[in-house]
Amino acid sequence: MEQLIHEFAGKKPLLGVCLGHQAIAEVFGGKLDLAKRVMHGKTSIAETLTPSALLTGIASEHEIMRYHSIVISEMPEGFDVISRTTDDQEIMMIQHQSLPIYGMQFHPESIGTPDGLRMIENFVKG
């Protein structure tokens, strides 16, 4: 995965979901750690902290489905946190400051993320 991220970063828009989100952070120099709680099949509310094209047309607080036990503990340079969970303040979305590179810790394709398909559409529309 690291090789793919290096190969396409800056050439194609990238969207990392769950493990892909973690890989993007790590490849660009961020740090990962165990989550405060294992979140396999649990929903949370994410709060938007930084405007993002991926969240166009989506409320600033939105429900997300989580399936993970690892999170970003230190952000890579050149990235912004788009959203965090309101309950445990874990990073849920990141974006590069100048390249079309995004990460989502949660699963936008899940029925437990009601606005997930819109997020994916927003990414595809670029």
Edge-to-edge order in the sheet of strand 61-74: 14-17, 101-104, 91-96, 79-85, 31-48, 61-74
Nearest to 52 by CA among 15, 80, 33: 80
User: For 105, which DSSP code?
Assistant: S
Which pair of tokens denotes residue 22? Answer: 């973690």
User: What are the catalytic residues?
Assistant: 18, 107, 109
- Token representation of residue 118: 């819109």
Contact between residue 28 and residue 79 where contact means Cβ atoms under 8 Å apart? yes
